[in-house]
Chains A and B, each alone.
Chain A
């Protein structure tokens, strides 16, 4: 008998021990209280509270605003993924480096100043960006460079994480064979309060997080159905 079988056997033996009456609550999410009209304000407020900077922009001015930010922050080496949206933005901004092949760690850690990521959704109640990494959106893009820039369409801001996991879009992505191998919620720049409860930013990941909230873009993904 393997360790696995012995552990499972012991658990099966003990399943009758003080079995709790199954509560319907286990299947019923606690509903948030946010109205659609509040999403944008809440989202911006929560992200700002967590020391991210939210920059509202129109789709037409996105490239100009990104270019301006890179200039202001003196960012020379900026990485971007390979999705259609990334290609389009890279063409308009110019001077960006496509993350289209594996990079040496030394280059990734020491030479890249910023990474531009695309969020699939935003969550208003917590000010979270939902990133699905994959072939066109590498995992390290939003992690290793000291500055992280994230593009999000305003129409993709949802109420909260509960609404997201109940959406058809989420359930489809997790039921297919090709599941997103690394889904992320990002809610600010990396931080720590491990020294005497004093908050410090830039613990291991990005020291700064800029979010471009695009007001009039068409949703890049299918609208999720409200629960």
Chain B
């Protein structure tokens, strides 16, 4: 192995640096969206990490879809499969439950994050499980399961390499596929040396070599797999007709988590069901090619039951927790329903110019980027998460990249409108459905100033005399208009009103006002 020169700083300095990063992260997460975005933009190392990773993943995906016609056919198929699921969701969930139960997998339903955590904790307690290894599961991040279990004295160790590093740093994932995308290898080298311990309690030797870093993490985590009481994983697809849980991964930690401990608990959102195995291959190929630009991942793990009599290994119990946490509310919204088509590939964030610059942590939520902007305010409410909706230039790249054709820009616009709409009591008849299903915190971003401006704007365009007055004031008083307009003019010049309005110029040219001159002409 080649020795890589180490920038010699003392172990204490290194630990201080790692602590500093943890402190900075915690500090950032306490702030509002705008402050978080500003902090990210000012952090050059962070911006380099995100831009590098985004470009890398965009390039890999592009290479996987050389044929536009094939890509288009696959996306149509992916969209059709996911819409078929949503059209039949309650039936498919019941069929899934029946078939999982017949296969010996126990099914639980949770309406809220709290209930899911409580259910999982109960299962662990019933089995005296004190140590848990986790495969990558964004739903478990969504319900903040680690925190819940650790408060109750259960050790919860992330085993996906990215998630392991993020947990070691006491941070949260900044991407749903590449969780530690925000850290460069020097930071990771310092982190491993300062915080990771081998099973005999020694500090991990300092190295910036990726193979060595992974090798060190591998031996620490294999010791944990060997002894853990339970494994907790996510699910990529649940097949209703066969009662099968499918997991997609490269590292093998998902298989370890679901195979080695005596108890396996899977947790997933209610939208992840598909009807039949015949729909799985095309969704799988869309998922892996869109997410990491791979034809297929190393492992595709299809679990249809616990260890059977005579089998030498495998978990003795398998549980599935089906989580709602706002999803049935999304399901009831006419325009926002396609949110639930998502297969969590992360292509939208890789293609988002805003995500590539502010990074995942600025969003302050489990799901960042365009899909995060759509999911998070609907789950956590517009009041708390509505600000992130402004972090979008509506360039449409996310919608073009989405393998299941979720109209993300349209959904973001709809949520922006929900955020400033008057409260539910003022709804008009044509949006009657939404009376019962407004997005949580509807209207919470409405401000008096903004709504007055729009009301005035609307009035001026409906009253000809008011419109004439407005254009007259703007053209004649154009010298009096401000030269600067807040941050907008910091990098742009202020638009200038013309000396005369278009109406006046046209009239001078002798074009008659058709509205006033009647139909005889």
Q: Which residues of A contact B (CB under 8 A)?
A: 2-4, 6-8, 10-15, 17-20, 22-30, 46, 50, 99-103, 105-106, 109, 125-128, 133-135, 138-140, 143-144, 160-162, 164-166, 170, 174, 178-198, 200, 202-206
Contacts and interface: CB of A to CB of B under 8 A. Distances in A.
Interface in B278-316: 278-282, 284-285, 292, 295-308, 310-314
B342 interface: no
Nearest to B277: A165
Interface string B320-341: 0010100011011111010000
> What are the 7 A-B residue pairs with the smallest beta carbon separation, nearest first?
A205-B252, A14-B332, A25-B80, A161-B281, A203-B251, A26-B84, A194-B162
Among A99, A170, A183, find the residue whose CB has the most chain B CB atoms closer than 10 A: A183
Contact of A204 (B256, B300, B301): B256
A197 to B, nearest CB: 5
Nearest to B433: A17
B282 A174 contact: no
B477 interface: no
Contact of B259 (A4, A17, A140): A140
B255 interface: yes
A105 B185 CA distance: 32
A170 B239 CA distance: 14
Given A182-B302, A184-B255, A195-B188, 10 more contacts: A6-B111, A7-B322, A13-B332, A14-B437, A50-B298, A126-B296, A161-B285, A162-B281, A195-B210, A203-B218
Chain B interface SS verdict (over half): helix
B109 A11 contact: no
A98 B171 CA distance: 44
Contacts of A19: 87
A46 B77 contact: no
A51 B256 CA distance: 21
Contacts of A138: 311-314
Interface string B126-156: 0000000000000000000000000000000
Given A170-B277, A181-B307, A162 B296 contact: no
B311 A185 contact: no
Interface of B: 49, 52-53, 56-57, 70, 73-74, 76-77, 79-81, 83-84, 86-87, 89-90, 93-94, 103, 109-111, 115, 159-162, 165, 178-180, 183-185, 188, 210-211, 213-215, 218, 221-222, 225-227, 241-244, 250-253, 255-256, 259-260, 270, 277-282, 284-285, 292, 295-308, 310-314, 322, 324, 328-329, 331-335, 337, 433, 437
A194 B160 contact: yes
Nearest to B301: A184
Contact of B306 (A174, A181, A196): A181
B161 A187 contact: no
Contacts of A187: 295-300
Contacts of A135: 308, 310-312
Given A17-B331, A99-B312, A200 B211 contact: yes
A181 B316 CA distance: 12
Given A22-B84, A143-B252, A195-B161, A185 B259 contact: no
B301 to A, nearest CB: 6
B250 A190 contact: yes
B242 A106 contact: no
A217 B337 CA distance: 52
Contact of A11 (B93, B243, B281): B93
Contact of B226 (A50, A106, A205): A106
Nearest to A186: B299
B277 A22 contact: no
24 contacts: A10-B324, A14-B337, A17-B333, A17-B433, A18-B334, A23-B79, A26-B81, A102-B312, A135-B312, A138-B312, A139-B313, A140-B313, A161-B280, A165-B277, A165-B278, A182-B259, A183-B302, A194-B179, A195-B188, A196-B184, A197-B52, A197-B57, A204-B221, A204-B256
A204 B87 contact: no
